[in-house]
């Protein structure tokens, strides 16, 4: 692997059993390719859905294939062994609660989102405050399933759904890029003086494939 190459990073999330329908851009031959799926590849994480995700991820030619579970991947929280199965059989790497480095770029991933209903990888306000207070202090690319509060986080009713503690963390650590999904209605990008934010939800609020994967070069 040539660490002097620029990164070509493709980001998507919330494909909900339609991952095979997502159009993945071609990879430049002179760049290091990275694919990131930021959660909710399924509806409940049942075995057939996991197998379908493994098949899709296995087919992707990227040098680095990263992913995190979303709140819909219920079985992955109940049976974490399935995460190892996905990694082992697809050649991908789950980065939930993990730090990795690619060509000098520090990446951290987290599936955690605020409590809502009976879904997976969710936290109370107190749990979230503790979790993000103890997250890594140096992150260049942050991958979470859900958004920070007030940034690309409005649902169909116009209500903000992001995590306040995650926002505090982002403001403290100042990653260069933060990608997430979860809130289908808020696909798009936003930037402040420190961070580029991308909601990379592939499906719209009606659970239809509507949005292209986001590609950045680094």
Token pair of 135 as six digits: 């997250």
Beta strands per DSSP E along the chain: 7-12, 32-37, 64-67, 93-94, 98-102, 105-110, 113-114, 122-123, 141-144, 177-180, 188-191, 196-199, 214-217
pLDDT tens digits, 54-99: 999 999 999 999 999 999 999 999 999 999 999 999 999 999 999 9
What is the three-state SS of 84-98?
A: HHHHHHHCCEECECE
pLDDT tens digits, 90-137: 999 999 999 999 999 999 999 999 999 899 999 999 999 999 999 999
pTM of the model: 0.96
Distance CA 58, CA 202 (A): 19
Torsion, Cα 69 72 77 81, to 10 degrees, reads -60
Distance CA 22, CA 203 (A): 10
CA pseudo-torsion sign 201, 199, 178, 146: negative
pLDDT tens digits, 36-47: 999 999 999 999
Given a cut of 70, is residue 2 above it in pLDDT? no
Average pLDDT of the chain to the nearest whole number: 96
Torsion, Cα 60 74 130 153, to 10 degrees, reads 70
3-class DSSP assignment, residue 171: helix
Q: Do the beta carbons of residue 24 and residue 213 sit within 8 Å? A: yes
3-class DSSP assignment, residue 180: strand
Domains in the chain, start-ordered, CATH in brackets? Answer: 7-217 (3.60.21.10)
Residues 6+ apart with CB under 8 A from 49: 17, 41, 42, 43
Distance CA 60, CA 64 (A): 10
3-class DSSP assignment, residue 183: coil
């Amino acid at each position: 692997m040539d660490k002097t190459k620029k990164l070509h990073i493709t980001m998507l999330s919330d494909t909900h059993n339609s991952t095979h329908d997502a159009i993945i851009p071609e990879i430049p031959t002179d760049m290091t390719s990275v694919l990131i799926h930021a959660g909710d590849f399924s509806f409940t994480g049942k075995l057939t859905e996991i197998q379908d995700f493994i098949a899709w991820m296995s087919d992707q030619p990227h040098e680095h294939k990263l992913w995190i579970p979303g709140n819909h991947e219920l079985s992955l929280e109940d049976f974490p062994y399935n995460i190892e199965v996905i990694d082992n059989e697809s050649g991908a790497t789950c980065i939930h609660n993990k730090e990795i480095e690619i060509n000098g770029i520090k990446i951290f991933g987290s599936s955690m989102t605020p409590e809502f209903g009976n879904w997976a990888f969710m936290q109370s306000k107190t749990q979230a405050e503790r979790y993000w207070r103890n997250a890594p202090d140096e992150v260049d690319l942050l991958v979470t399933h859900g958004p920070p509060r007030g940034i690309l986080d409005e649902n169909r009713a116009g209500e903000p759904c992001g995590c306040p503690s995650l926002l505090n963390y982002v403001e403290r650590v100042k990653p260069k890029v933060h990608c997430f999904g979860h809130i289908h209605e808020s696909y798009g990008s936003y930037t402040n003086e420190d961070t580029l934010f991308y909601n990379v939800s592939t499906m719209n609020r009606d659970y239809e494939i509507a949005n292209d994967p986001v590609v950045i070069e680094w």
